[in-house]
Chain A
Amino acid sequence: MTPAIEVDRLFAHYGDKAVLRDVSLRVAPGEVMVIMGGSGSGKSTLLRHLLGLQLPTSGTVKVLGVDIVKGRRRSMLEMRRKIGVAFQSGALFSSMTVGENIMLPLREHARLDEATMRIMMRLKLDFVNLPGSEDLMPAELSGGMIKRAALARAIIMDPKLVFLDEPSAGLDPVVAAGLDELILELKATGVSLVVVTHELESAFRIADRITVLDKGEILVSDTVDAVRASPNARVQALLTRKVEHATHNPDEFLLALTRAN
């Protein structure tokens, strides 16, 4: 069976700076893969590569079997119709109502009449616990509602693969737990999910496997239990939220400062 995602020896740079180094991972169909890491670890960059929003310096990225570098425009378009993405900010179009936002992929890709599209939109709004909010503007929604509306838009085309960028960031624990429930319900329908998060509790709850990134490299990519038991000190520092103090040799530090002048 074709993996939902297959990344092989991915390298990416911003200018001269390497932001992803030798990243390889696979996401099986129906699997929930959580990508974790601290700030600047490269998880957002990895997500942008998986979505085809950035092209790698080298290596291959295949999403639903389509190579995002070499794939033809037509196959890329076909692939994009089978994926759904909920961005961290929600990325709802501010000039459209919630309902119009959710129906946009249907309007562009499906040949359905207005009544059918509205029914499908209301079903998805019900699924994300936002019934009756189709006529609201995004500016009228709370943070949690925006995330749920973005999720409704991400799943309106019944995708095979859903990407969620920091779904519970900035939400209170109750709302965040509600979103975790939604993710688990989605998983139960056989959808593959890639969730980028730094919320440990949420990650352990929803993940089948966890990939931990640090400084652009994968430290570990394994099952939840294996990640918890990882002997890697950096993984444990992330899991136990231990602050890593930089160790300075005062003499070398002063020397470096003097040299800089």
Chain B
Amino acid sequence: MRKLAENFGRDIQAGLTELGQASLLFVESLQFTLTGAARQQPVRLSAVMAQAMEMGIRALPIVTVLSLAIGAMVAIQGIYSLGLFGAESKVTLGAALSVSREFAPLITGVLVAGRSGSALAARLGTMKINQEIDALTVMGINPVRFLVAPALLAMLLMLPLLTWFADMVGLFGAGLYITTTLGQSFPAYLSDLQAALKVDDVLHGLGKSAIFAVEITLIGVVNGLGVSGGADGIGRVTTRAVVHGISAIVITDMLFAWLVIQG
């Protein structure tokens, strides 16, 4: 029992330490972004663009496929469940709100956590084991400026953009099913969509995705930099980054939804 309590205490301590590290990395990244150029230590735009390309542009095909499927799935379930009350005609409202407020940011966040969060952890972990992080430090190149800040900025730029793209594709997928099943024309569907969807609904999803972006990046970085051992260690931190990233996204999503609705 005592050992169990000790282990629990150790886990809590390790978790708080990682939270502290993540906070420091976030603050330091912001400092370099805002004041780095004045200190002759700028965050390179080319590095941000390279990361944005990898995290955002290369994720477009899979985001397209998943969003299309999720949109259609929401429409299928919506028509079925609303049909029980004879309210199929309200499916556009349900699809619009659930895709823009919930499914698009959540699925995109989970996808990017699995794809880019893990890649970031693996990359930094490998760099640490190969002494590349030490090499940067002794060259007078701050690893946070060189590696973390570009990844954070790229993620902050690309995840909301991907989420917005997922909104469009998801609603298109929902529209395809709704128009085919209910015999509605596509312009009529778009008109319903326009009436149902408010800017706030889209911003709700985009706001969440910005928070997810920070979480995915910092979790990937903290895990990558905390690697120990060889290839085994890299495998471990990569898995950990994905599990922690997805968990953080789902919990934040729930808290965000609850807070916004309370407000």
- A residues with CB within 8 A of B: 51-53, 76-77, 80-81, 83, 85, 87-89, 91-94, 104-105, 108-109, 163
Contact = CB atoms under 8 A, between A and B. Distances in A.
Contact of A104 (B130, B137, B141): B141
Contacts of A77: 140
B139 A104 contact: yes
A104 B146 CA distance: 11
A108 B146 CA distance: 10
B139 A89 contact: no
A230 B135 CA distance: 36
A85 B138 contact: yes
B130 A94 contact: yes
A85 B140 contact: no
B138 A83 contact: yes
Given A51-B134, A89-B130, 6 more contacts: A77-B140, A80-B139, A92-B132, A93-B127, A94-B130, A105-B140
Per DSSP, chain B at the interface is helix
Interface residues of B, number: 12
A53 B137 contact: yes
B131 A109 contact: no
A100 to B, nearest CB: 12
B134 A87 contact: yes
Nearest to B129: A89
Interface string B76-108: 000000000000000000000000000000000
A91 B141 CA distance: 14
Interface in B174-230: none
B139 A53 contact: no
12 contacts: A51-B137, A51-B138, A52-B137, A52-B138, A77-B140, A80-B137, A85-B135, A91-B131, A91-B134, A104-B139, A108-B139, A108-B140
A77 B140 CA distance: 5
Contacts of B135: 85, 87, 91, 93
A94 B135 CA distance: 13
Contacts of A76: 140
Nearest to B138: A85
A108 B131 contact: no
A141 to B, nearest CB: 14
Nearest to A107: B44
Contacts of B141: 104-105, 108
A76 B127 CA distance: 23
Contacts of A53: 134, 137-138
Interface in B137-171: 137-141
Contact of A105 (B126, B130, B132, B139): B139
Nearest to B137: A53
A163 B138 CA distance: 10
Interface in B109-142: 126-127, 130-132, 134-135, 137-141
Contact of B138 (A80, A88, A89): A80
Contacts of A81: 140
Contact of B132 (A51, A88, A91, A163): A91
Nearest to A51: B138
A47 to B, nearest CB: 10
B131 A87 contact: yes
A91 B126 CA distance: 11
A81 B138 CA distance: 8
A193 B35 CA distance: 35
Contacts of B139: 80, 85, 104-105, 108
A157 to B, nearest CB: 9
